[in-house]
Structure 1
C-alpha cells in the first residue's frame, strides 16, 4: 500500500503547480461520445521493451499532436499506478495552455484486480486486491483536478471476463466501485457530468454465454452511464474461426476480393457482438449508450494469426478493418476507442513478432502504416515527429512490397492441416 500512497502524494504535488479556472462551458462525455467529430483511441505511450521506462512529457505531447492530426480527440487510458496517465493529463493541459484551440479528452482507467492477482498464489476471484481502492482514489482525484480533460472513468479493463484467469473479479466488485463513484457525483464530490463505466469484453456485458448472466451484472448495467464493450474479430480468427474460414461466395473471386470479403465478415462479426450486448441490455428494460471501448487488428503476427495460423495479420487487413470500424461506428453514432495509436514493444513477451506488439497505426519509430499512407501524402504530419523521426511510410511507401506480406485467409482444409502441424 505504501507505493500507492506515494503515487497519491505525487498526484497532489504534481497537480498543485497551477490552479485551474473552468469558467467556459465545457463539453461533457454526453457531447463527445458518439460524435464523429471526436474520434476516440486507446492509448499507451510506452516505446521500449521495458515498460518501466516511462514516456517523458515531451514524448506524450509528440503523440498527442500526431493523434490530433488524424482527428482523435478522445483517449482511453488503463491504470493510474504508473506515471503515464498522470503525465498524460499534464501534457494535454500544457498543450491546451500553449494553444487554446487544442482539444483532447480522456476516459481515465482505474485498474481492478482480484486478490492474489499476478502472484504465485491462487487468484481469489471473489475477493479484491487492496490496491483497487488506491486506483479509485487516484482516478477520483485526477478527475477533479482536470475536469476539462477527464470526461469518463472506466472501472477495470477486461476485469470480469473469465479468460483473464490471473486477475479477473466477479461483477459485484466492479459494481461496488461504480456505485461508489456514482455516489460521489451525487454528493458533489465529482462532476455530475462525469460518466462512469467499466470497459470489458462483450461476453462480460451479457453478449456471450449464460455464465455471465448474473444479478450483479444486471445491476451493473443499470448503474453505469454507458457500456464500454470490447470486440476482437482478429483474435477469433483463431479462437472462433468459422466465420473466417467460411468459403461461401468465394468461388471465382480474386485473392484481393477474397481478402476484402473476409474483412467485411470481420466487421459483421463485431456488429453481431454489439447487437448481442444490446439485446441483453434491453432484455433488462435498460436503454443506455453502448460504445466500443476497444477493438483493433494487428499488422504482424508470428503466433496464431500469422502465416502458419489464420493468416489474419498484415497492414492491408489492418487498414480495411480500421476503415470498416470507423465507418460503422460513425454512421451508427458510436464512439470506437480503437486499439491503438502506436505499437508497444513491451507487450507479448520476448518474441518481436508477437501480435500484441503490433496493433498500432504507427510503428514505434514513427512510420505510418498503410492505413495512414494517404495522410502522409496529404501532408497531415508535416512538422510532426516521433522518436526524433519525421513521419514516413512503412515499406518506403511501395504498395507492391507491402502486398507481398499479405496472405489470403485459409480454407478449412488448410487451417486443419496447419493445426495438425503445431
Structure 2
C-alpha cells in the first residue's frame, strides 16, 4: 500500500516510483494561441489551468511539423512516432527547456504511476515517456520504490529516448518473508545497469518501510528493540549483497546504496550500513494544522533523522522521502485530520510555508506527490488517492507554486 504514514501510524506500501522534489521555483511553460504566448503551468494566472496534454499538443505541433496531432486531441502515440521524432535525435524535453523563457528549475518530484504493481503490471513505455516529458520540466531527479513490472528499464529507456537531464534512484522493494522478491529485483536492476550504464543512476534504495512493516507484523514500535534487531540483519544482508553486486560490475563510478523507511522507524544497525536514508515525514498524520505543518516536518526530520544519523561513523545523508498535503477525501470521516481540512486551500498553505523554507535551509525532500492516483482511492479510500499537485489527468490543481528562485 502506498501510504503517507505518520511515523507512529504504521501502514503498508507497494512498489511504485517517485520523483523527488528538491527545490521549487517557477518555470514558464506556454501554449501558443492566436499568435500569442499565453498560459503558465506553475505560476499561471488565477482561474487558468494548464494540462500536460495542452503542453504536449502545443510543442509537438510547433516543434515537430510532421506530427499529426491536432488541436483537441489527446497525447500523441509517441512510441509509434519515435522513428520520426525521437529517432532523429530530437529531444522533446530539451526543446521545452530551450524554448522556455525562465531558467531551469531544480525539482525533486513524486509520482506513483499506474501499472507498476504485481501481478497485473500494465504500464507502458508510452506512458512513461509522457510523464518523463512533463516532469523533466520540473525535476532532474527521480526515485523508484521497486523494480518489478519493468519499472527500471522503462524509466531509463524513456530518459534515453527523450534525452532529458535526469538521474534516478533505483529501488528494490524488500519483503521480510520472501527473499525471491529481493533477488528478482536485484537481477533486473543489474541488467538495467549493464544495458543503460550509470550516467543517469544516482543510487539504489534497498527496502522501503521494511522495518515499519516488520515491526508492525510483530506488534512492536521501537526500531531499536530486540525484535527490531532480529529483523535488521535481513535487510542489511540485502544491502550488502547489492554492494557486492555493484563491486563485481567494474562500474565507472560509485553508486550509493540506501534505504527508505517511516520517519521514526529507522534502526541504528540499518543506518550504519547505508550511504543514505530516506524518511517519510507527514504532518497530516501527526494531526497538525496546515499552518503548522512546515515547522513540524522540519523539526521532526532534524531531531528524529538528521541528528541521529550524524552521530554514526558512516554519516548517512538523510532525505525527507515523502511530505505533502491531501486536497480531498473520498469520505467525510477522513476529510479533516483534527487540525485542518484536506483541501486545495490547505495544500496551498503548506506549499507557501514549506517549500521556500526547506530550500533556504538546504533540506532535501521528496514532495508527495505529483499526480493524484485513482487506484489508491479505489483500494484504500479516504485521502489516499488525493495528494497530487496535478489531477490524475495531468491537470494542475488550482494552486500556485511558490517562486523561490532558480538554483
Distance change in 2, residues 1:293/1:178 (3 Å): same
**Count of residue pairs brought into register by the alignment:** 287
Residue 182 (structure 1) aligns with:
243
Distance change in 2, residues 1:130/1:51 (3 Å): closer
Residue 63 (structure 1) aligns with:
131
Deviations 1:337-360 (Å, cap 9, x if unpaired)? 212111111114457x53111111
1:235 deviates by: 1.6
1:110 deviates by: 0.6
Residue 359 (structure 2) aligns with:
330
2:321 pairs with 1:289: no
2:208 pairs with 1:157: yes
193, 200, 213: which one pairs with 2:254?
193
Distance change in 2, residues 1:319/1:54 (3 Å): farther
CA distance in 1, matches of 2:194, 2:327: 38
Name the structure with the higher helix share: 1
2:287 pairs with 1:219: no
Distance change in 2, residues 1:141/1:164 (3 Å): farther
Residue 37 (structure 2) aligns with:
none
Contact 1:157 1:199 (8 Å CA) reproduced = yes
Secondary structure, aligned partner of 2:376: coil
Secondary structure, aligned partner of 2:393: coil
CA distance in 2, matches of 1:311, 1:305: 11
CA distance in 1, matches of 2:339, 2:273: 39
1:133 deviates by: 1.4
1:314 deviates by: 0.8
CA distance in 2, matches of 1:66, 1:55: 17
Distance change in 2, residues 1:347/1:185 (3 Å): same
TM-score, normalised to structure 1, is: 0.60
- Give the RMSD, CA atoms, in angstroms: 3.2
Q: Which runs of no fewer than 5 residues in structure 2 stay unpaired?
A: 1-103, 219-227
Residue 195 (structure 2) aligns with:
145
Alignment of 1:222-241 (within 5 A): 222-237=272-287
Deviations 1:181-231 (Å, cap 9, x if unpaired)? 2233444445542111011111122xxxxxxxxxxx333323211221111
1:84 deviates by: 3.5
Secondary structure, aligned partner of 2:240: helix
1:297 deviates by: 1.5
CA distance in 2, matches of 1:137, 1:191: 19
2:342 pairs with 1:313: yes
1:232 deviates by: 0.8
Distance change in 2, residues 1:224/1:49 (3 Å): closer
Contact 1:144 1:191 (8 Å CA) reproduced = no
Distance change in 2, residues 1:350/1:292 (3 Å): closer
Distance change in 2, residues 1:230/1:136 (3 Å): same
Greater shift in the superposed pair: 313-322 or 149-158: 313-322
1:289 deviates by: 1.9
TM-score, normalised to structure 2, is: 0.62
Residue 357 (structure 1) aligns with:
385
Residue 300 (structure 1) aligns with:
328
1:162 deviates by: 4.5
160, 169, 174: which one pairs with 1:93?
160
Distance change in 2, residues 1:348/1:191 (3 Å): farther
Secondary structure, aligned partner of 1:270: helix
CA distance in 2, matches of 1:303, 1:197: 38
